[in-house]
């Protein structure tokens, strides 16, 4: 149990500084600049759209990822819980 706690504390210590960082590289186009990533309705309407913006020329199709960004951007229904920050989070890889 002690070794698991040490690993947990080390992981938190390593990634804690990244909490203040904004979007990087492709996150700006895929998440920050994508209206479908900020609304569940827009994400559902965009189910046939590609993951990357059309001007990039890439052709990936990831509807579950875009929908998860939209769901993550919803405010929490419980007071005191996260959500509603206007920033998408694709758990567990981004927060």
pTM of the model as a whole: 0.53
Per residue in 72-81, pLDDT tens? 888 765 554 5
- At residue 58, the pLDDT reads 74
What is the share, in percent, of the chain residues with pLDDT greater than 70? 78
Q: What is the DSSP letter of 31?
A: I
- Distance between CA atoms of 32 and 7, rounded to whole angstroms? 32
Bridge partner residues of 83 (DSSP): 75
**CA–CA gap between residue 4 and residue 71 (Å, rounded):** 31
């Amino acid at each position: 149990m002690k070794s698991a706690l040490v690993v947990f504390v080390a992981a938190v210590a390593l990634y804690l500084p990244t909490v203040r960082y904004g979007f990087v590289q492709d996150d700006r186009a895929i998440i920050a600049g994508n209206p479908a990533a900020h609304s569940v309705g827009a994400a559902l309407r965009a189910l046939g759209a590609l993951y990357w913006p059309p001007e990039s020329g890439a052709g990936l199709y990831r509807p579950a990822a875009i929908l998860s960004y939209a769901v993550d951007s919803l405010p929490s229904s419980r007071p005191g819980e996260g959500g509603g920050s206007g920033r998408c989070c694709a758990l567990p890889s981004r927060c």
